[in-house]
Structure 1
Amino acid sequence: MDKDSIAAEYALGGLSNNIFASRYISYIPNKGQLITQIEAVLNEWNKVEKGL
């Protein structure tokens, strides 16, 4: 993977199953959808940075 690629993974990193959250979403995008959304946000950010 090169430095310009985007990688996304979901992981609990060895945490126990007792994960508590006051608010959560019942839908988690798949890896491709998440990467597409991140790329869109980065493209918009780059436009702002360039003053477009």
Structure 2
Amino acid sequence: MFKRYDQKQQFLLPFNLEEFVPENHIVRVLNDIIDVINRTYAVEQKKPVA
């Protein structure tokens, strides 16, 4: 059994998106904020209702 491939494929391996974003880009700050919001929301949803 062989795995299909495409010789015109742009990336052979999965790439890391962080390599394409400059270190001081605003999107990194936004990503950190969204991560905190998502965790806060998940914790709030698990609190029992009294």
Q: TM-score, normalised by structure 2?
A: 0.44
User: Which structure shows the bigger proportion of residues in helix conformation?
Assistant: 2
The TM-score normalised by the length of structure 1 is 0.42
